[in-house]
Structure 1
Amino acid sequence: MKKSLTLTLITALTALLTSCNTDATQHSGMSLIQKSDPDPIILDEKTEKDHKLVASIKKDVAKFDELYDVAVIKGEEEILVAYKVKHMQRFHMVKIEGEINKMLEEKYPKENFIVSSDYKIFLEAVELNDKMKDPDFSEKDAKKKLEEIIKLKKELT
Structure 2
Amino acid sequence: MITFYRFILFACLILLSACSNNEPVKDSQLALMKTTNPKPVIISNKKHSDRVEEIKKDVSSHPELYDVAVVKGKKDTLVVYKVKHLHRFRMKAIEKNVNKMLEEKYPKENFTVSSDYKVFLEAVRLKEHIKSSDFSDQKAEKRFNEIVKMTEDMK
Q: Give the shorter-chain TM-score range.
A: 0.7 to 0.9
Is the counterpart of residue 108 in structure 1 residue 141 in structure 2? Answer: no
Tell me which stretches of 4 or more aligned residues in structure 1 moved more than 6 Å.
none
Task: Name the structure 2 match of 1:17.
Answer: 19
Rounded to whole Å, the distance in 1 between the matches of 2:100 and 2:119 is 20
TM-score (normalised: structure 2)? 0.86
**Counterpart of 2:3?**
none
1:86-97 correspondence runs (5 A)? 86-97=84-95
CA distance in 2, matches of 1:139, 1:42: 10
CA gap 1:141/1:18 in 2 versus in 1, 3 angstroms? farther
Q: Which moved more, 1:15-24 or 1:36-45?
A: 15-24
| Cα offset, 1:89, TM superposition | 0.7
Structure 2 unmatched runs, 5+: 1-6
Aligned Cα RMSD in Å? 2.2
State the distance in 1 between where 2:154 and 2:73 align.
20
How far has the Cα of 1:23 moved from its partner? 5.0
**Aligned counterpart, 1:43:** 43
User: What is the aligned counterpart of 1:133 among 126, 131, 134?
Assistant: 131
Relative to 1, partners in 2 of residues 1:16 and 1:81: Cα closer, same or farther, differing over 3 Å? farther
SS of 1:60's partner is: helix
2:59 to 44, 47, 61: 61
* Partner secondary structure for residue 79 of structure 1: strand
* Aligned equivalents of 2:148, 2:64: Cα separation in 1: 24
Aligned-partner Cα distance in 2 for 1:60–1:109: 14
- The corresponding residue for 2:83 is 85
TM-score calculated relative to the size of structure 1: 0.85
Question: Which of the residues 72, 75, 81 maps onto 2:73?
Answer: 75
Structure 1 distance, partners of 2:84, 2:147, is 22
The structure with more radius of gyration: 2
Compared CA separation, residues 137 and 87, structure 1 to 2 (3 A): same
Q: Which residue of 1 aligns with 2:150?
A: 152
Displacement after TM superposition at 1:13 (Å) = 3.6
SS in 1 for 2:95: helix
Q: Which runs of 5+ in 1 are unaligned?
A: none
